[in-house]
Every structure is written in structure tokens, then in C-alpha cells.
Structure 1
């Protein structure tokens, strides 16, 4: 029976991986190495919950993709799946966290009166070139994506895909080609190491399929507001030392933000888009 369960989990996990851009929290959990919990009906609909590994077996160490790093240890760059995260090393003071080198991208060339298009490579953080002048730009291929037109070399993120892509002459509307599309890596463990340790809640704007813009953490005044578990999900969320059922909310001190147990085991928060520019996490 156990072997059958693992086979089902593996099969469904593969299907769910393809839906990271369609299912709430799927991209977040898959990046952390969590596994989708098979639904009771064995369907491939969006999972109700995930099962995550112990992200911090030793609270005095930093962890990235299950590998421990001691104080001042650096993650090999080849292992980091986010080109904007460079020279990241563990720092253990009050709490473990990774510190990375700042990457400054200068995509706007001041003083240039020509019309220019910044171009990118798939694994680059900043633009790697420019194409300037009406004639040169007119010779570029274009990609029509989600009602927008992108020039050859420009970067875009197709809706419901959790992918970042580069417009190329090969573009045919499919995001499965590794030559011009790759999975988005939010750098959650690198940028929010201590927040994961404290069992804080990721904060999203728009939907729970994008990268979190920050985390909301428990405070002495945090309390649980019981809600209705309409889906009958048995799994629970953890927020600091509090336990919530699906449908429960936890009070937040952040403006315009609602934090709810939707897809366990993390509580997740939604910030109204009208507040995202003015509210600091």
C-alpha cells in the first residue's frame, strides 16, 4: 500500500509541477522542496496542502535546498537558481540569514535620444545588450504574449506559467522550451531565511502564484480568527507557535493585508495592490 501511495504522489507531483503558475502557493512550495499532498479523490486538481521537509533542523545553521551552511559559508554560485542572487553567504548572529552582493542593473541610458530596446539572455539578471535606432529595431522578431508585443531579446513572464522567457525567433507560444523559458526562482530561502525559521507568512500581491514581496511575522498581539473550512481539508497551517485550520485568519499589523490558512502548512497573506507601492514589509 505504501508503494502505491508513493507512486501516486510521484505521478501527481509531476502534474502539479506543471501547474506552478496555475495553483495557489504551488510555486512557493515547490521551490522549498515541498511535496503536494494527494487529494482524497486522486485528481490532478490543485492540491489542498503540501508536505514540507524540516527547513531548519539546526537553528544555528543556514539552509539552502536542504544543505546546511555555517557562519560565513558561501553557497556555490552554480547551485543558485536565481541569477540576481550573487555571492550569497550565511551569517549567524541573532538568527541565521544569507547575505548577498548587491546587483545594480542600469537598463536606462540617460542622455541617449535614440529609441533603444534592452535585450537579455535567459540566465542573466541585467540586460546584456541594446538595439538602438528605428531601422535596427524594425528588423527584430516580435512575440505576441497575453495581448502584449515583445521585441526579440526582451524578457516577459507569461500568465499562469511561473516562467520567465526571452522573446526569440523560436518562440511559438509554448513555455516548455528550455532554450527561451525557465522556471521562476524567487530566492525564498536566500532572501527570507530567518522568516522561514520563525514560521512567518509570505505576503503576495495580486495572487498566490507569484513571488512573495515579503513576510508577515507573529507579534505579541497576533490572534487567530476562526473561519469556515468549506473544503473539509484536514491539514493545518502554522504561524509562529499558533495552529490554524483551513479558512482561519490571523490578525496582521500590515496595512491592507489579510492573512489566511488557505494551502497548508504556511499561512499566506494577500496585500491589496493599491497598498503595495506605499507599504514596506
Structure 2
């Protein structure tokens, strides 16, 4: 396809209501390789935590594990000192939706569910992923929320394809979450990542009618649905970081860093 043909194709999508990504959002193979290597460290850390996160561990101890493993790989924890965030990882327990700050007083106990969000900078390239960890003997309703949220992530990921709509992701996730009795957080979403911690596009996980960004090969972004057991509304704590459910209900989140390929997608961090 010639440059003119590509320009004509993009213009036709623009006329249909799509937002055409700026060329700066399209990563070249070298940049994607850098993000991939960063993502390998992020994934290693999340794997390591599967063995370490258990009843009795403090969130400060989790933060130390993340910091030490990151720097031992000649990388940098992206959250540390980002806009004043004081720690190397986010630990979000039960009704905390995201951005929970680790501390020495918070001890994980049997029955807790916790999202651990790891972000890594390696040689200037960013990756970002999170998982849910179920501590000890969790209730059936908490387990179901965690499992359905993971399904929401995978359903959303399968919508990623060249010349699709970024809003196809939320259009697939929200009906599935609602069918299971849950709601999707609307105030927060996924984001472009790779050269910076947060780039365009913003990735909504709920249903929107407009076309939004056109998905093109070379784009790299996160999909990270936050699913609430109760109402979708959230609130921010006095620390200006910790986001909780407004009604106190449980919340869960899983996150991938995704690269768009010529034929579909590649998961770079999970």
C-alpha cells in the first residue's frame, strides 16, 4: 500500500468519526523491543510475588521486594517519586480500587484480595501491569469478582486489532461485567505507555458510542479494567492517591501492556 493509499484510508476513518493517532504514538520495532524487555522485568516481579504474598506480609515488605528486584535488573520503579508518589509499587486491598500506598502498618490477612501494580523503566522504556492476589481463604464472592475481572481483561484484549476502535474494548467489557452483577469504574482507565509512563490514548473500559481512537500497528497501551462489586463510583483519599469505592464494596483490577501488531496484538507485560 502506497503512502497516498494509507493517507486516503486514514482520512476515510477520520470522516467516520475516528480520532487518528499522531505518528509519535506509533512505536518502531526498536522501541517495542525496549518496551518488551521492560515488560519482562515487570512480569518477573509479578511472578515472584505469587510466592511471597501471603498472610502476615506487610505492604511495605511487598514494596521492598519490588524495589530490590527492579534495581537488581538495572531498572527503575516507575511509580517511585512519580508526581510525589512515595513508593515503588501500588498495593490496593479490598475496597481500594487503585493507587494504594504501601506502608509498614498494613498487614495482609486471610480473606483479603489485593491488586499489585508494577511499572518498570528499563533503558528509558516503560511497562505497566498488575495482578490480583487472593490471600489465604477468600470468600466465594471475592473469588468470583477476581476471576470475572480477569475475564474482563481478556475479553477486552481480544478486541485489539488494526483499524478497530479503542472503544471496542469497553464495549466488550461492560456488558460482561454487568451480566455478572458488577459495575465498571468510569473515572479511571488504561493509557498509552512506552516512551512515557502515561501517553495517549486513554482507554475506557465501559460502553461508549463514539468511535474514539483508531487502533493502528505500533500503538502500545494498557488495558486495566477496574470492576466493582457495588456501584461504579469512586473517591480519592486524603493522601490524594488512594482511590476507593464510594460505597465500600470490593473492587478488583488486572492489567496488561499491549502492543498492536500488523495482525492483532502482543502482550508485553502481564
Instruction: Bin the TM-score by the shorter chain.
Output: under 0.3
TM-score by length of 1: 0.23
TM-score by length of 2: 0.24
Higher alpha-carbon Rg: 1
* Structure with the largest fraction of helix: 2
Greater RCO between the two (CA within 8 Å, min separation 6)? 2
